[in-house]
Every structure is written in C-alpha cells, then in structure tokens.
C-alpha cells in the first residue's frame, strides 16, 4: 500500500466490498419495457455510512455510462478509489457521518449486474445479443427492487450526473412518492440529435470490428479495436477545447507515430491509451445496449416534461457546467423551466469550469458546497419527514 493510499484510507471511507442481490428467479421473472422477461437478475451494489433506524438518511447515487457500483472507498489492492470518492465520505458532499449512500451497477452493465456478458441460464453461455433490449426505466425499476430488498421505502435524495442524471429524472417520474429530493447534474431529459450521433458512431465502430461476430465473441478475441475507437470518440466529447489545449497543447508524445498517418502528438497517445484501457474493463455488448437505452430515453414520454412533474413534491438541485458541450447548459435549463411550470421547488447553478463534461467528476469544491447546503436544508437536523 502506498503512502497516498494509506492516508486516503484513514481520511475517507476505507476498504469496501461489493455486495450482490439476486431476484426474479423463474417463473417470477422481471418484466421489461420491451415486453420480454428476464431472470434471475443479480445486482452489484455498495453502501457507505450507516442507515438511520427508519432509513430516513438514505441517498441513492446512480452512475454514469461507464461507471459501476464502486462509487467510493477502496477495494483491496486497487490502484484508485471509487469513481466519486471525492464527493462521498466523512465530511464530504455526501457525508457518510450523516447519510447512508447506495450505488448499484445498472442492468445491462458488465461490472457485476446482469448484462449481455452474463451467463444465460437456459443456454449455459453468455447472453450476447440474445440479451433483451433494456431502457432507463428498466434500470430504475431494478434499483427500486434493490431498495425494497434493503428496506428503504423513501429516499432522502437521489443524485447523479450524465446517464446517472437520466436515472434521477426517471426516479422522479416513476416513483415521485419515494424521493424527497434530487440532485440532477449535467444531463438531459432526452438526447439531442448530436448526442445520438456521437453514440451511433461509437456503436458503428464496434459493429464494424470483425471480432464482434454478431455479439458472439466471448469464447475468442473481443472487438478490441472497435470498442477502443468508440471510447476514443466518447472521451473527446467529455473534455473541452480549453481543457485539451491546457492538458496537451501541440506537444509531441512519447510513442512516436503509431501508424503512417499519425502526427505523433501527445493527444493522440492519450486517446489510444484511453481506448485500450477501456477495453480491459468494459464489455462491447454492454456499450451497445446501454448507449441505445440512453439515446432512447425521454423523461417526458413524448410530451411536456412539466406535465409529468405535476405531482412531484421533491426539492431539486440542478447543476450544469459552462464548458460542457456534450450536455450543454440549455438542456439543464429546459429541466429547470419544466420544474417551474409544474410548481416544483428547484434551484439551479451553472458552474464555471473549463473541464467540459468531465467537470462533474472534477469540480469537487463548488459541487461540495452546493450539494452539502442543499442536503442540509432537506435533511434538517435529523430524521426525515
């Protein structure tokens, strides 16, 4: 263990373990929006902090597209902590001295929750593209089953960014009675044509890889090239022009020219590294299924978002980032305006940042101030109402 890890363990949550919940055993399988049924379903999840007797301090934190259940703390032998560790822990935005925080891997994922790479019990081999199509509402209904299992009837809050923000919106639409407050970060109620276009290019990169083999690659070489290119495309959208200029400039890289048409710039090396490292931790079929679900999602169900918010009693905090061009602030403002028309108690802040969409993982100080103050107002001095 490094000195940095030792310090982090003492100051933060410390070591954590992923837990698993399995439900929907046949014949009581889980109904999906597609009309198909799925089961059994295993959900990977982690919890941080201690629940009050009545779970009135429970906060659900859905993850973004490539995230997982490991939101905070350290796994034994890991090189880095959970993906939102700087926001979750003692004295942090989601203060685990006060709150009980839950994070689960989404349905269709590849980090412990049932997805295309899971074994199909009927066939005895990975589902591949025999896995049924899934939606954001399907993911949220699975989360609701997990909360039922944990004994949580109502959440103090639910908070998430990017795809996690879509899940937050879906909770507000499908389970308004189970949510006291919500933190919606850098997301959209439905994707724009540009957002869909970027995801489609990523999907096509995977489908064009000869090793994809119509999703049946689990007993051989996976579609490494296609998935890495998809991740390279995605990663460009997570940054901003300013952040890339500051991080790379036009400096030359250390790996020279990877191919005859490369220019040898550092930014090229970086994208190749990001693409290849992603292949080691993510499944190409999960990429296809989850991006389709993200693109298909519409919180307003084809109508007006304000109409589906009419019965909402939760308080909302909505955050966006000035340099985020993947989920630009106008999409957050659309949600804010829908809340105001529906009479929902909503606060909004556009945070000045040069990090682009990645800002929701990097702009810790200002988010901590805003989220801490918001949760304190909702939670008050103790038990939930």
Per-residue pLDDT tens over the stretch 59-106: 999 999 999 999 999 999 999 999 999 999 999 999 999 999 999 999
- Judge if 118 and 145 occupy the same domain: yes
- Judge if 239 and 141 occupy the same domain: no
Q: What's the pLDDT at 277?
A: 94
> Is the backbone peptide bond immediately before 27 cis, with ω within 30 degrees of 0?
yes
Domain count, the chain: 2
- Judge if 214 and 182 occupy the same domain: no
The pairing of beta strand 346-351 with beta strand 58-60 = unpaired
Tell me the mean pLDDT in the region 354-383: 91
Last residue of a domain, one of 292, 326, 361: 292
Query: What value does the CA radius of gyration of the chain take, rounded to a whole number of Å?
Result: 21
- Judge if 276 and 344 occupy the same domain: no
Residue 278 within a domain? yes
Burial, 234: exposed, middle or buried (Cβ in 10 Å; 0-12, 13-18, 19+)?
A: buried
Residue 220 within a domain? yes
pLDDT of 147 above 60: yes
Residue 1 pLDDT class (50, 70, 90 cuts): very low
- Judge if 160 and 305 occupy the same domain: yes
Last residue of a domain, one of 292, 316, 342: 292
The token duo for 5 is 């890890």
Residue 118 within a domain? yes
Q: What's the pLDDT at 11?
A: 66
> Alpha-carbon distance 221 to 284, whole Å?
12
Q: What's the pLDDT at 382?
A: 46
- Judge if 221 and 152 occupy the same domain: no
Q: Looking at per-residue confidence, does 247 or 382 come out higher?
A: 247
Tens digits of residue pLDDT in 151-194: 999 999 999 999 999 999 999 999 999 999 999 999 999 999 99
Check the CA dihedral 222-226-229-230 and report its sign. negative
Tell me the mean pLDDT in the region 193-213: 98
128-154 as b/e, with b when 16 or more CB fall inside 10 Å?
beebbbbbbbbbbbbbbbbbeebebeb
Last residue of a domain, one of 292, 323, 354: 292
The CA–CA distances, whole Å, from 37 to 210, 265, 310 equal 30, 49, 31
pTM above the 0.85 mark?
Answer: yes
SS3 for 262-275 is CCCEHHHHHHHHHH
**What positions carry a catalytic annotation?**
162, 324, 357
Residue 9 pLDDT class (50, 70, 90 cuts): low
* Side-chain half-sphere exposure of 233, counting CA atoms within 13 A: 20
Tell me the mean pLDDT in the region 211-228: 98
Tell me the mean pLDDT in the region 115-136: 97
Q: What's the pLDDT at 257?
A: 67
- CATH number, domain containing residue 236: 1.10.1740.110
- CATH number, domain containing residue 172: 3.40.50.1820
- Judge if 124 and 273 occupy the same domain: no
Tens digits of residue pLDDT in 227-281: 999 999 999 999 999 999 999 999 988 776 667 788 889 999 999 999 999 999 9
Domain coverage including residue 372: 3-190+298-379
Tens digits of residue pLDDT in 39-60: 999 999 999 999 999 999 999 9
pLDDT of 383 above 60: no
> Alpha-carbon distance 147 to 257, whole Å?
51
Tens digits of residue pLDDT in 280-315: 999 999 999 999 999 999 999 999 999 999 999 999
- Judge if 152 and 219 occupy the same domain: no
Asked if 274 and 231 count as a contact pair (C-beta separation under 8 A), the reply is: yes
């Amino acid at each position: 263990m490094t000195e940095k890890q030792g310090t982090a363990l003492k100051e933060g949550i410390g070591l954590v373990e992923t837990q698993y919940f399995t439900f929907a055993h046949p014949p009581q399988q889980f109904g999906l929006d597609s009309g198909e049924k799925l089961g059994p379903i295993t959900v990977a999840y982690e919890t941080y902090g201690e629940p009050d007797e009545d779970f009135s301090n429970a906060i659900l934190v859905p993850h973004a597209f490539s995230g997982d259940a490991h939101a905070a703390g350290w796994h034994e032998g890991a090189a880095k902590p959970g993906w939102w560790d700087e926001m979750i822990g003692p004295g942090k935005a989601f203060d685990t001295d006060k709150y009980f925080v839950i994070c689960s891997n989404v349905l269709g994922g590849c980090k412990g929750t049932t997805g295309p790479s899971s074994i199909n019990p009927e066939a005895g081999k990975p589902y591949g593209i025999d896995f049924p199509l899934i939606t954001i509402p399907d993911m949220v209904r699975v989360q609701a089953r997990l909360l039922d299992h944990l004994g949580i009837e109502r959440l103090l809050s639910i908070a998430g960014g990017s795809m996690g923000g879509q899940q937050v919106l879906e909770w507000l639409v499908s389970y308004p009675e189970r949510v006291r407050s919500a933190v919606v970060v850098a997301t959209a109620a439905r994707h724009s044509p540009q957002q869909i276009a970027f995801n489609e290019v990523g999907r096509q990169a995977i489908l064009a890889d000869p090793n994809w083999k119509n999703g049946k690659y689990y007993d051989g070489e996976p579609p490494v090239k296609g998935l890495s290119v998809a991740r390279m495309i995605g990663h460009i959208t997570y940054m901003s022009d300013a952040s890339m200029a500051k991080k790379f400039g036009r400096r030359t890289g250390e790996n020279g020219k990877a191919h005859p048409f490369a220019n040898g710039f550092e930014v090229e090396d970086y994208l190749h590294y990001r693409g290849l490292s992603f292949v080691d931790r993510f499944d190409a079929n999960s990429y296809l299924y989850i991006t389709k679900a993200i693109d298909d999602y519409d919180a307003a169900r084809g109508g007006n978002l304000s109409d589906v918010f009419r019965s909402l009693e939760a308080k909302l905090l909505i955050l966006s980032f000035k340099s985020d061009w993947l989920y630009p602030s106008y999409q957050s403002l659309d949600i804010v305006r829908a809340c105001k028309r529906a009479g929902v108690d909503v606060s909004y802040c556009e945070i000045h940042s040069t990090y682009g969409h990645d800002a929701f993982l990097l702009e810790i100080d200002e988010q901590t101030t805003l989220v801490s103050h918001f949760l304190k107002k909702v939670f008050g001095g103790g038990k939930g109402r």
